Amino acid sequence: MTSSRRAARRNLKALPRAPIHQMITFPVRQDWFALPIQTAQKVVPLTAVHSSGHAHGLGLILIDGHRVPTIDLERHIYRDVPQAVLPAVGYSAKLPLPELIDPRHVVIIKLPQLAEVLGLVVSHAPVLRRVPQSAFAPISVAFLSMSQMRCVNAVISLPQQEDPIFLLDLEQVLPPLLPPSPVNV
């Protein structure tokens, strides 16, 4: 290795690196969504959901001997608009999903504003991704007003993935559960 190559390599190491965020990403319908990894305590396969509020996407599941409230993200994100029959994201039509296995999972979150944990029902097991700060961008107001999607506040564009990943805004998903924000007078 020549001295100029060594110097170039040292200079590359000395350059400040853009912050990298660890995100859990998961498909809901045909779109991908993300949450910061710090938000999630764990991910578990979905068991039976029980609640009279299930029609509104609310429910209870039993995890580690405790009843945990759940929110069905699909119903919250898409405003209960029925889904067209679409193949699952990331799965080939040549390899059908097993019919007897429910692929849905629950992302258990704990927010500082909540005194308890909460489960977010997602359609498939989440995937951990490292996302550079430069991949985040605001979402177009026109897109949000014309689409059926809500509860998102940014879009993530990764070079290795064609489809955008939408950053969930938990304050929009959970407003009835969160205490009111302090008002500065």
Q: How confident is the model at residue 87 (pLDDT cuts 50, 70, 90)?
A: very low
Nearest one of 170, 141, 182, 155 to 73, comparing CA atoms? 170
Quote the pLDDT of residue 170.
Answer: 86
- Greater confidence (103 vs 50) lies with 103
Task: Check whether 181 has a pLDDT greater than 90.
Answer: no
Task: Identify the bridge partners of residue 72 per DSSP, sorted by sequence position.
Answer: 121
- Region class of 102: left (phi > 0), else alpha (psi between -120 and 50), else beta: beta
- The rounded mean pLDDT for the chain is 77
Cβ atoms of 108 and 40 within 8 Å: the answer is yes
Q: Based on the number of CB atoms within 10 Å of its own CB, is 157 exposed (0-12), middle (13-18) or buried (19 or more)?
A: middle
The Cα 89–Cα 56 span in angstroms is 24
Nearest one of 178, 10, 49 to 109, comparing CA atoms? 178
* 123 to 154, 155, 178: CA distances (angstroms): 21, 20, 24
Task: Check whether 8 has a pLDDT greater than 70.
Answer: no
